[in-house]
Amino acid sequence: MILSRVKGPIYYLIVLAGLSAALEVLPLVPTIKVTLSRVLISIVIAISCYLAGSIINLTLKSWLDQRKTILGKAKEQELIIISRKILNFIVFILLFIFILKLWQIEVTPLIASLGIAGFILGFALRDIFANIFGGIALIADKSFKIGDFIKLDTGEMGEVIDIGLRSTRIKSFEEGNEIIVPNSTLVMSKITNYGRPMVNLKMVINIGVAYGSEVGKVKGVLLHCVTKLKKLLKDPPPRVYFMEMADFSLNFRIVFWIRDYRDRFDIQDKVISSAYQELQAQGIKIPFPTRTIYLEK
């Protein structure tokens, strides 16, 4: 594809090189020769800029095609269009300045004016540019993709439903509403992606029982509540640890791995519900916060 796009411009560059060589040997008036030479060089600069822009555009499209599963086809096209417009604008400005200098037209005031205008425009649109470049950074870094379940450093969790150029949309797990986060904020945030590097997830559940409970019996009941579930990994096997003797309870920790992080809340609900029922059935009490006060006469 790149070869077909650059074949035409390269052909014209070769023709212009031949015309330039012929111009050097033609017996023309010096002023006419200089003028024609500048015209040819101006055309060469224009074609070279077009050639460079085409190569960069095709490279950008190829790079985005490899990431279309992250961004989606529609967003990929949107990013290509915006990037192409920015690139074409930069190429046009550079082409304009080079040609002016070639014709010995003073460009310093123009460059200064463009610098001031660019500073004012950049300051006015700094948030928009920050979000757009933040979106490009997220795509390049592949921090997450549509469908991933992530947790923000603010504590909010949800499924990524859209990655735009200016913002990312997340479906909140707790409330089910849509959270819209500017990409510039996401780039600077600490994000937990439960889908990376694999969909397996380690889960930890803490359970407290009353003092006087038999430790071995409690471990057996809790381990049974976990191992009977189907969506758990057999390796590493589930484990139950006696963690501490707290103020009003004996605290145990259940550690196990599940096959898919998307099942974490469903499995957590089943484990806790089963543990509560089994402990009650075995006569093992689950305490509530208590405090014993001794009074001395």
* Residue 10 in this model has a pLDDT that exceeds 80: no
Q: What is the pLDDT at residue 96?
A: 81
Sheet of strand 178-182, all strands in order from the earlier edge strand to the far edge: 178-182, 167-172, 157-163, 149-151, 192-193
pLDDT computed for residue 137 by the predictor = 74
Residue 77's contacts (CB-CB under 8 Å, 6 or more residues apart) are none
More confident residue, 121 or 131: 131
Give buried/exposed letters for 125-147 (b at 16+ CB in 10 A, else e): eeeeebbbebbbebbeeebbbbe
In the predicted structure, residue 291 carries a pLDDT above the cut 80: no
**Tens digits of per-residue pLDDT, 143-160?**
788 888 888 988 888 888
pLDDT value at position 92? Answer: 81
pLDDT by residue (tens digit) across 57-75? 777 777 666 655 555 555 5
164 vs 245, which has greater pLDDT? 245
Exposed, middle or buried, 65 (CB in 10 Å: 0-12/13-18/19+)? exposed
Integer distance in angstroms from the first to the last C-alpha of the chain? Answer: 96
Least confident of 97-106, 161-170, 270-279: 97-106
CATH code 2.30.30.60 region(s) in the chain: 143-193
Say how far apart CA 240 and CA 175 lie, in whole Å. Answer: 32
For 2-124, CATH number? 1.10.287
Higher pLDDT, 124 or 152: 152
| Predicted local confidence at residue 121, as pLDDT | 63
More confident residue, 161 or 8: 161
Q: What is the mean pLDDT of the chain?
A: 80
pLDDT at 274: 94
In angstroms, what CA-CA distances link 178 with 75, 130, 275?
Answer: 19, 22, 34
Q: Is the pLDDT of residue 185 over 80?
A: yes
The predicted structure's pLDDT at residue 65: 67
Vertex 123 angle, CA 90 and 83, to 5°: 35
Q: Helix, strand or coil for residue 84? A: helix
So what's the pLDDT on residue 213? 93
pTM summary value = 0.51
Q: With cut-offs at 50, 70 and 90, classify the pLDDT of residue 217.
A: very high
As assigned by CATH, the class of the 143-193 domain is mainly beta
What letter represents residue 52's amino acid? Answer: A
Q: Residue 263 in 3-state DSSP?
A: helix
CA R_g for the chain: 34
Please report, rounded to a whole number, the percentage of residues in the chain having pLDDT higher than 90: 21
Per-residue pLDDT at 235 exceeds 80: yes
CA–CA distance, 48 with 217 (Å, rounded to integer): 80
Nearest alpha-carbon partner for 218 in 242, 239, 200: 242
Over the stretch 83-92, which tens digit does the pLDDT of each residue have? 777 777 778 8
Q: Where in the chain is the domain with CATH 3.30.70.100?
A: 201-281
pLDDT at site 89: 77
The average pLDDT across 246-271 equals 90
Count Cβ atoms below 10 Å from residue 19 Cβ, excluding itself. Answer: 15
Q: Where in the chain is the domain with CATH 1.10.287?
A: 2-124
Would you say 232 and 201 are in contact if contact means Cβ atoms under 8 Å apart? no
Distance of CA 11 to the CA centre of its chain: 41
Residue 62: strand, helix, or coil: helix
Q: In which band, very low, low, confident or very high, does the pLDDT at 18 lie, cut at 50, 70 and 90?
A: confident
Class of domain 201-281: alpha beta
